[in-house]
Amino acid sequence: MDKLPTTVLDAIEQARSRAADPLAVFVYDLDALARHVREVMAELPAGVELYYAIKANSEAPILQTLLPLVDGFEISSGGEIERLQAAASDKPFVFSGPGKLDSDLRAALNHGVAAIHVESLGEIDRLQRIGAELGRVQAVFIRINPELPATLSSRLAMAGTATPFGLDEADVPEAIRRVEACSHLRLEGFHVHAMSHQQQVERHEQLLDLYLQRWTQWKALATRPGTITHLNVGGGIGVDYLSRERFDWARLCRHLEQRLGELRDAPLVRFEPGRFISAFCGYYAIEVLDAKSSHGQHFLVCRGGTHQFRLPVAQGHDHPVIHLPATGRAPSGAPRPWTIVGQLCTPKDVLSRGRQLVDAAVGDLLVLPLAGAYGYNISHADFLCHPRPEQLFIRAEGRRGGAG
């Protein structure tokens, strides 16, 4: 489980030989990304699409790798539209998220957005005005924050509780009435992105069951239910950073297939995961700068830190670590527990605690896997004015493209 692909290992070693200072680098295995996504797409039942939520990782080589494989993209800002344009995407995209600017909405319409997920009554009115201004009739999905049984809520719940996302079910009749009254809007579907980081397939099955049950009820609120064709069930498929067991995507797809087969008015279903798509392909490699003990605890102080890889603190977990001893040294002796920290002058700069490593020493490399989603891009890279880490994107035969 803790074996690095040789291509990743080679890229790290080459980066180190080029670097004047000790290393901190992100490496993304684009072949592994493509393989994983092909498998994910192959499981989708008929009538089910998958859009990639690019906020998980919108670096150009990631988008270019995904472009031929996924059905489309989900974006949440004007800046993300620019990212898609820069990747020369001709795939459909949809736009969700709170606090959309008028300029973002205009850019989305001008680039032919497939659907806008409206998050409030006010946004419906604004979009109507912009549609009229641009002379367009825009397809919209109403984003719903449904009532959820307590058993289905999670730590990162984005629905079933008070959130700034979407409309409460009590407001859905009014939202439908408003969209129907808007000459420049066309209601095409409903959208629910209820949680992030769902690790249990059973619970996600129950969530989909619940959405499909409500689908019929929500649709029935419309004057012409027949024109409402789509149900976007969001993302939120989790990654187990600790056990590293993969979410049983195939099982979820078979379950959905069966449920859709049972429905008389089955919607076209759209998934929009981010994390589950790009997490596995990324690695963060850092070099040990110092090894010390303090009040009975052992610390490895490394190049980089949580300002480059905020994920472990954001998730509140101790990230797995692969230890690469400096060349020429065969580690021996008993393992001892280490706290892996970065270069920041704050006690919060902790990447992992209690890592059992054998003979860890200055100059060794530590590699943090599962760093391809919500890793570098959610981090506060300018804190303390350290230089930003290099990001390397590797493809077959060691051909490498650098960026950022």
Ligand X SMILES: *Cc1c(COP(=O)(O)O)cnc(C)c1O
Site for ligand X, rule CB under 6 A: 53, 55-56, 74, 76, 96, 193, 196-197, 234-237, 272-276
Q: Which residues pair with 77 in a beta bridge?
A: none
d(CA 91, CA 88): 9
User: Which structure tokens are listed for 218?
Assistant: 């929500």
DSSP codes of every residue in 117-158: EE-SHHHHHHHHHHHHHHT--EEEEEEEE----GGG--TTBS
User: Which amino acid is residue 245, in one-letter code?
Assistant: E
C-alpha count within 13 angstroms, C-beta hemisphere, residue 192: 26
In angstroms, what is the minimal distance from the CB of 235 to ligand X?
A: 3
Please say which residue, 277 or 286, places its beta carbon nearer to ligand X: 277
Q: How far is the CB of 197 from ligand X (least distance, A)?
A: 6
Q: Which of 253, 281, 302, 345 is catalytic?
A: 345
| Of 9 and 107, CB closest to ligand X | 107
H helix intervals, 182-332 = 201-220, 249-262, 275-278, 311-315
Of the candidates 313, 282, 307, which has an alpha carbon nearest to the alpha carbon of residue 59?
A: 282
Nearer to ligand X, 304 or 372 (CB): 372
State which residue, 96 or 306, has the beta carbon closest to ligand X.
Answer: 96
Cα separation, 45 vs 363, in Å, equals 49
Q: Which residues pair with 80 in a beta bridge?
A: none
Cβ atoms within 10 Å, residue 218: 23
CB closer to ligand X out of 163 and 356: 163
Residue in 113, 174, 105 with CA at minimum distance from that of residue 139: 113
Cβ-proximal residue to ligand X, closest one: 235
Q: Minimum distance between the CB of residue 53 and ligand X, rounded to whole angstroms?
A: 3
Per-residue tokens: 381: 């890279």
At closest approach, how far in Å is the CB of 199 from ligand X? 11
Q: Which is nearer to ligand X, 128 or 196 (CB)?
A: 196
Whether 353 and 318 have beta carbons less than 8 Å apart is answered as yes
Is 289 in contact with 22 (CB distance < 8 Å)? yes
Q: How far is the CB of 182 from ligand X (least distance, A)?
A: 22
Task: Specify the amino acid at residue 384.
Answer: L
Rounded to the nearest whole angstrom, what is the least distance from the CB of residue 379 to ligand X in the complex?
A: 16
For this structure, is 302 an active site residue?
no
Q: Which residues are catalytic?
A: 345
